[in-house]
Amino acid sequence: MADFGFLPGAVLAEGIVAHFGNPMVEQRRLVAGEALVPVGDRTLIEVSGEDRLAWLDSITSQSVARLSAGESTELLVLDPQGRVEHAAGVFEDGASAWLIVDADDAAPLASWLQRMVFRSRVAVTVREDAALVGFFAGGAAESRVQASAPNGVPLVWRDPWQGVTPGGHQYAAVARHPASGYTWSVAVVGSPADLEGPFAGALAAEALRIAAWRPRWAREVDERSIPHETDWIRSAVHLDKGCYRGQETVAKVHNLGHPPRRIAALQLDGSDTVLPAPGDAVLAGDAEVGTITSVALHYEDGPIALAILSRRAPDGDLVVRSQGVDIAAAQQVIVPADAGATADVPRLTRLSRRPVAPDPRDPR
């Protein structure tokens, strides 16, 4: 991970740039396509070799075998029971596949990938010193990025969360998904010292991610997570591709349902000064029904959060308990409780009984 702490006005928290003085203004600049975000909490993994795409296709949830140079997508690594173990954004440049992963998952994912090589012509390399910057596409910030191009194609990953990828499926039943304008992109740059502002920090980027209902490995994933619970099938799972580890669970829950938990968006009461933290309990009455996974102050919506709830949690208003304070939370259902019951099972037409004329030879 590159060190961006030298940038003017950078305020660090846990080793990453949290903000540059005003996270609300930074969010506005991000949405307008004006600001760059130092992405210090992600790591780059290079997968090179002739077999890289076919190999990744065979061991992950996404169809990447025919990925062309310049294309982006996203994949998950599942365990045999279909639980999420790793997640990565994928960019292909014609010679290597580049994986963008949460920093804490980089070493475990790279180790697992290396164990899976066997006889495939593949090499896995963690690029520890790669400098990554994020931005919203289509604005002035994008024009200021000089992306690295080691194989002739600029390394810029376009987050596929903006829409449903081929082979994917969306459980959120909304007319307009909040991710429709989420044009988040991440570029690999040569030298952080060459970057020009304005800049935005991780707090601003996280607030916009949460508002777009976008799940993240470092926040929404635990040892029980399956892709259906966070609507991750819309961008990271191809339902029609060949066999891979965990596919049976993916197909079973998608066709027969229901996932045991579901993600929800919460609009929090901002009258108190207490902002919940990941791990805080979500209550329905006196019963605990879930946990906060991500929380932020949004420049328009105020305090917002994502929460993983029990499938049996009610659809109505909830309460978040944080530091002994109960905070009212209006719920927006993302993944409905019946998500997964999507199969259109053909039913036989009911046979009707027609009156039959009596046989004159029948003695009855």
Whole-number average pLDDT of the chain = 93
Residue 354: exposure state from Cβ atoms within 10 A (0-12, 13-18, ≥19): exposed
Quick one: pLDDT at residue 274? 85
Nearest Cα neighbor of 233 from 123, 121, 84, 14 is 84
Asked whether the predicted pLDDT for residue 356 surpasses 60, the reply is no
The pLDDT tens digits of the residues spanning 326-339 come to 999 999 999 999 88
The pLDDT tens digits of the residues spanning 104-147 come to 999 999 999 999 999 999 999 999 999 999 999 999 999 999 99
Concatenated DSSP letters of 211-239: HTT---HHHH--TT--GGGGTTHHHH--T
In the chain, what is the straight-line distance between the N-terminal and C-terminal CA atoms, in Å? 92
* Superfamily (CATH H level) for 11-230: Probable tRNA modification gtpase trme; domain 1 (3.30.1360.120)
Does the predicted TM-score (pTM) go above 0.85? yes
183 phi, psi to nearest 5 deg? -95, 40
222 phi, psi to nearest 5 deg? -135, -170
Fold equal for 11-230 and 259-333: no
CATH 2.40.30.110 fits 259-333, yes or no: yes
Token pair in block for residue 344? 């259109």
Asked whether the predicted pLDDT for residue 190 surpasses 80, the reply is yes
**Coil, strand, or helix at residue 102?**
strand
Q: How many residues does the chain have?
A: 364
342 phi, psi to nearest 5 deg? -105, -10
The pLDDT tens digits of the residues spanning 68-91 come to 999 999 999 999 999 999 999 999
Asked whether the predicted pLDDT for residue 348 surpasses 80, the reply is no
Tell me the average pLDDT across 37-47.
97
Domain boundaries, the chain: 11-230, 259-333
Asked whether the predicted pLDDT for residue 354 surpasses 50, the reply is no
Quick one: pLDDT at residue 352? 40
Residues 157, 100 contacting (CB under 8 angstroms): yes
